[in-house]
C-alpha cells in the first residue's frame, strides 16, 4: 500500500463489503488462481494514477507509526 500499487484481493471474509470497487485495486471474482490472475491483468491494464490517488489517504491512515501509536495508546491507556 505504501508503494501506492493497486491492491489485489480475493472475496474472502469481509473484504467484499469493505472493498471500494475499483478505487484502490481489483477484487477477484472468486478465490481461485484464475480469478487472481484476471484481477492482476485488470490492475495492470488500468490507469495507475487513479489507484495512486485513492491510496494516498489510506497510506496516511494506515501508516505504521500512526497505527502503532494508536494500538499502544489503546493497550496502555490508564483506566482501560
80 belongs to a structural domain: no
18 belongs to a structural domain: yes
70 belongs to a structural domain: yes
> Cα 80 to chain center, whole Å?
30
Q: Which domain holds residue 35?
A: 7-75
Instruction: Give the 3-state secondary structure of residue 25.
Output: strand
29 belongs to a structural domain: yes
Question: ∠ CA 23-18-68 to the nearest 5 degrees?
Answer: 95
Q: What's the number of domains the chain is made of?
A: 1
1 belongs to a structural domain: no
* Residue 80 in this model has a pLDDT that exceeds 70: no
Per-residue model confidence as pLDDT tens digits over 30-57: 999 999 999 999 988 887 777 777 777 7
2 belongs to a structural domain: no
12 belongs to a structural domain: yes
pTM: 0.59
Unique residue bearing C-alpha cell 491512515: 61
Amino acid at each position: 500500500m505504501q508503494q501506492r500499487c493497486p491492491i489485489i484481493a480475493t472475496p474472502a471474509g469481509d473484504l467484499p463489503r469493505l472493498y471500494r470497487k475499483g478505487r484502490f485495486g481489483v477484487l477477484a471474482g472468486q478465490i481461485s488462481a484464475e480469478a487472481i490472475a484476471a484481477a492482476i491483468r485488470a490492475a495492470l491494464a488500468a490507469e495507475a494514477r487513479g489507484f495512486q490517488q485513492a491510496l494516498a489517504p489510506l497510506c496516511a491512515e494506515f501508516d505504521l507509526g500512526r497505527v502503532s501509536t494508536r494500538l499502544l495508546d489503546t493497550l496502555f491507556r490508564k483506566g482501560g
